[in-house]
Amino acid sequence: MKTERILVTGGTGYIGSHTVVELQQAGYPVVIIDNLSNSNRDVLDGIERITGIRPDFVEGDCSDRAVVKKLFNDYPDIAGVINFAASKAVGESMEKPILYYRNNLNILLNLLDEMSTHATKGIVFSSSCTVYGEPDVNPVTEEAPIKKATSPYGNTKQISEEIITDVINAGAPFKSVLLRYFNPVGAHPSAEIGELPNGVPQNLIPFVTQTAMGIRKELSVFGDDYNTPDGSCIRDYINVVDLAKAHVIAVERMLTDKSEAKIEVFNLGTGVGLSVLELIASFERATGVKVPHKIVGRRAGDIEKVWANPARANNVLGWKAETPIDDTMRSAWAWQCRLRERGVM
Ligand code: UD1
């Protein structure tokens, strides 16, 4: 067991919980803080069933300065932070911009403030390919221009990257790794943890699995008149466990002083773009279950096509997306079936 503890904010959430599993399997003691606004305590049982270790858990809201202060005082061994805690629904952010700016930016500011007064070596930040907007060229490298954000959610990711950069350039005694995720999908192969959206899913895969289960009548494919081979939008769907593993590597770099710069930026994607229709076909092929769907109009604000050039992460981190998309689809379906077994949905 390592001695350097990793603080995972939002650690009972979708990507957070998968990352806690990988951290614990790599020997790191973890403390999770989560306000359970979009997750629940049962996730801790899933993590424990997979790893045999129950992570320390603090129920609390990192947008509250006093909560973060107490956390760092209670856990003086925190050596690194991975910040997943954030509001993340694009549509909701258009309706409630103040909530998004207040929540996402205060969480980050409180963490950075507290890290500065403790011997914390670094912070991994969950950023997004949304910072590239509609890219001029695909696949997208980290050098691609940052486009004006199309939603308050996206803007919080851009501003957060700038805040971290300013704070470190001003001499803060820690490093950062900014990870720009493409589209995280799938679940842990054990089906003990996975994505559990509240209400009607806004994202594609939870809608696909719920439709396959019969919870939703039909999936709407938002547009088949895009300038793509089959007319539907193209994304880079990255397996959530592969994604989680990149966080362990990123933390390790900062803790062992291997970072090449105080701030490093990496795209986390597969390098392969898939259309919505190709993804549905993959799900049906992998699971043998049909997904009733119909083509409807475009969704406002959608990007036509975006996929990653992950060369920097491949070469510098030694990380590569490994899971074939069909396996990822099977894992998403196994998780949906587990939720049904448990009577969750
Ligand atoms: C969006 C955000 C991204 C954010 C992510 C998670 C943008 C540009 N991207 O990704 O930053 O991290 O949400 O919340 O704002 N689709 C359908 N039918 C559905 C649902 C989706 O056809 O019922 C299509 C969409 O049009 C899109 C693809 O599936 O082409 C993926 O959509 P989604 O899973 O919502 O992710 P993004 O919009 O790519």
pLDDT (tens digit per residue) in 179-228: 999 999 999 999 999 999 888 999 999 999 999 999 999 999 999 999 99
With beta carbons less than 8 A apart as the criterion, state whether 142 and 308 touch: no
pLDDT tens digits for 13-64? 999 999 999 999 999 999 999 999 999 999 999 999 999 999 999 999 999 9
Residue 6: what pLDDT? 98
Q: What is the mean pLDDT of residues 281-291?
A: 98
Q: Do 204-235+271-342 and 5-185+238-268 have the same topology in CATH? A: no
Q: If you average pLDDT over every residue of the chain, what do you get?
A: 97
Q: What is the mean pLDDT of residues 107-124?
A: 97
Pocket-testing residue among 185, 204, 267, ligand 1, by greatest number of atoms within 8 A of Cβ: 204
Fold of 5-185+238-268: Rossmann fold (3.40.50)
Locate the ligand 1 atom nearest the alpha carbon of residue 298 and give its number: 26
Is 153 noted as a catalytic residue in this protein?
A: yes
Q: Does 233 contact ligand 1 (Cβ within 6 A)?
A: yes
Compute the distance from residue 248 Cα to the ligand 1 centre, in Å.
Answer: 26
Compute the distance from residue 203 Cα to the ligand 1 centre, in Å.
Answer: 5
pLDDT tens digits for 150-179? 899 999 999 999 999 999 999 999 999 999
Residue 275: what pLDDT? 98
Residue 208: what pLDDT? 98
Pocket-testing residue among 161, 276, 305, ligand 1, by greatest number of atoms within 8 A of Cβ: 276
Sign of CA dihedral 248, 254, 259, 262: positive
- pLDDT of residue 322 exceeding 90, the answer is yes
Compute the distance from residue 204 Cα to the ligand 1 centre, in Å.
Answer: 6
Q: Does 130 contact ligand 1 (Cβ within 6 A)?
A: yes
Fold of 204-235+271-342: UDP-galactose 4-epimerase; domain 1 (3.90.25)
| Nearest-CA residue for atom 36 of ligand 1 | 203
Query: How many angstroms separate the CA atoms of 112 and 107, rounded?
Result: 9
Tell the residue number behind the tokens 């089906």, with chain if given. Answer: 191
Q: Whole-model pTM?
A: 0.97
**Tokens matching residue 47:** 């993590």
Q: Does 88 contact ligand 1 (Cβ within 6 A)?
A: yes
Residue 193: what pLDDT? 98
Residue 345: what pLDDT? 82
- pLDDT of residue 1 exceeding 90, the answer is no
| Nearest-CA residue for atom 29 of ligand 1 | 204
- pLDDT of residue 289 exceeding 90, the answer is yes
Delimit the domains of the chain by residue range: 5-185+238-268, 204-235+271-342
| Nearest-CA residue for atom 38 of ligand 1 | 302
Choosing from 28, 100, 153, 181, which is the catalytic residue?
153
Tell me the pLDDT band of 301, cut-offs 50, 70 and 90: confident
Q: Which amino acid type is present at position 8?
A: V
| Nearest-CA residue for atom 12 of ligand 1 | 128
pLDDT tens digits for 328-338? 999 999 999 99
Q: Does 90 contact ligand 1 (Cβ within 6 A)?
A: yes
Locate the ligand 1 atom nearest the alpha carbon of residue 130 and give its number: 11
With beta carbons less than 8 A apart as the criterion, state whether 205 and 332 touch: yes
